[in-house]
Amino acid sequence: MAAPMSCCRRALLQRFRGQSYCIRPPVRLSSSISKILNGDVEKTELSVTGWVKSVRDQKEVAFLHMNDGSCNEHLQVVARPEMVENVTYGSYVKVKGQLVDSPKDGQTFELLAEDLKLIGSCDPDVYPFKPRTHHPLVYGREYPHLRPRTNIFGAAMRIRNAATMALHSFFQQEGYLHVHTPVITTNDCEGAGEVFRVEPHRKEIMEDIKKEDEKEGDSSNPHFFSAPAFLTVSGQLHLEVLTGAFSKVYTFGPTFRAENSRDRLHLAEFYMVEAELTDTHSLHDLTEVIEKTVKHTTEALLTNCQSDMKTYFKHVAPSEHHTHLKEMLSNDFKSITYTEAIEILIKHNEELTFKLQWGDDLKKEHEKFLVSHFGSLPLFVTDFPLELKPFYARSNEDGKTAAAVDLLVPDVGELFGGTIREERYDILREKINKLGLEADLMWYLDLRRFGSAPHGGFGMGFERYLQYVLGLQNIRDTIPFPRTVRSCRL
């Protein structure tokens, strides 16, 4: 007599109807260490995989710390010494065992190993990271393919993920539509610095393209896109198109600068969160959203990434950084006009290397001075001289200043920049004419010609935000694969 078919097996077979070529194995039970340590997993037999963070081999028992990247904490595995014979720091193992309460203080659970399999070995003499060592951040940058395995960079990446999700959830809750603005663009009108040009790598492809064009007549255009094409420096103009249909939109994508910047604050490829909204009456409509964006995101990180944030407070950020963030959260951001800022800076002329007068742009030095002058908390500076801002910034009634705002934060300086956009057709057309851009920006003027809505928006450098919130000196430690002049590793 055949053994009766198990209920589970029968259910599995019933899932497949008609002609089917493969029966799938049942789902395996493998648990992430973050779930285990959170108590989200039943205390039973488990299978766990991960990298070994330390091995302590004692006479009768061996202790192993495992990490799978799902959280900052390691899972302690208690094993028989012979199980860990060839297991070294950095190797990848699979452990089957019983999850039990840990007798050790500050540790919730531990795994009593019944079976331990070394899957990927690691020669500790060659592996560039060592156990129980705080490698300097600059050292980690030399190994972009391995530094994600370090505790400190691992924490940064989990915080980066949490910040990304907090930003999405904030804008979605506030009724903003997420949109993808293009990376490649033929618009190079903003004048926001140096740009990268984009061309097909294989020149011969243009011959194929021209051959196909011939059928339709003109085949003379030398550009892949029929016009010179660049990597975007900002999604703003495209966001304005979309806010002209959806009222509130945001984008969160890569932007580029082909600049010779080798300092601690610039990348050639970085992420920007940009938002655009209609029905704006004054800069307050922007500063309100900006302040909420910073606070919502930072609160989410302090709540949801406690252990990872603690790593940064303890090992990386300046002392009192946690206190600073809490103070930032409980205070309204202050706001001064550019004109007031200049008055203050002139009053403190002797403390500054670069002296300023009305009309000059603020340098990093001045931004830092102003932030510190106002209690080392985030500070809005508003209503900059028209000449300092691009053509699309709305002119204020005084005829001298534009409805533009920057948010300055300690150490990092400018974190956000935004403007109310010029929505008045005649005024905008005149500005565009003066720049000789009328032919290129006909479509942009159309947005004001057909159902023009008062609107404005802002952009935040995402890596700058991470630098600020983590208290990180160098922006290259906020992104998995930093791209800067002279460096594009991997």
Q: Which residue has the tokens 């500050």?
A: 106
Bridge partners, residue 487, by sequence: 484
**Rounded distance, CA 87 to CA 138, Å?**
28
Q: In angstroms, what is the minimal distance from the CB of 389 to a copy of itself?
A: 19
And the tokens for 8?
């589970």
**Rounded distance, CA 81 to CA 118, Å?**
14
Q: Which is nearer to a copy of itself, 245 or 346 (CB)?
A: 245
Q: Which is nearer to a copy of itself, 4 or 217 (CB)?
A: 217
**Rounded distance, CA 252 to CA 271, Å?**
7
Q: Which residue has the tokens 């011959």?
A: 207
Amino acid at 125: D
Q: Which is nearer to a copy of itself, 2 or 439 (CB)?
A: 439
Q: In angstroms, what is the minimal distance from the CB of 247 to a copy of itself?
A: 5
Q: In angstroms, what is the minimal distance from the CB of 386 to a copy of itself?
A: 20
Radius of gyration of the chain (CA): 28
Which segments of 279-381 does DSSP mark as H helices, in order? 284-304, 306-315, 321-330, 338-347, 364-373
How does DSSP classify residue 240?
A: H
Q: In angstroms, what is the minimal distance from the CB of 40 to a copy of itself?
A: 11
And the tokens for 135?
């490698």
**Rounded distance, CA 297 to CA 368, Å?**
23
Q: Which is nearer to a copy of itself, 101 or 288 (CB)?
A: 288
Report which secondary-structure segment, H or E, holds 236: helix 236-246
Q: Which is nearer to a copy of itself, 61 or 442 (CB)?
A: 442
Listed in sequence order, the residues at least 6 apart from 318 whose beta carbon sits closer than 8 Å to its beta carbon are 411, 471
Q: In angstroms, what is the minimal distance from the CB of 353 to a copy of itself?
A: 22
Listed in sequence order, the residues at least 6 apart from 292 whose beta carbon sits closer than 8 Å to its beta carbon are 170, 174
Q: Which is nearer to a copy of itself, 306 or 319 (CB)?
A: 306
Q: In angstroms, what is the minimal distance from the CB of 1 to a copy of itself?
A: 31
Q: In angstroms, what is the minimal distance from the CB of 230 to a copy of itself?
A: 6
Q: Which is nearer to a copy of itself, 35 or 104 (CB)?
A: 35
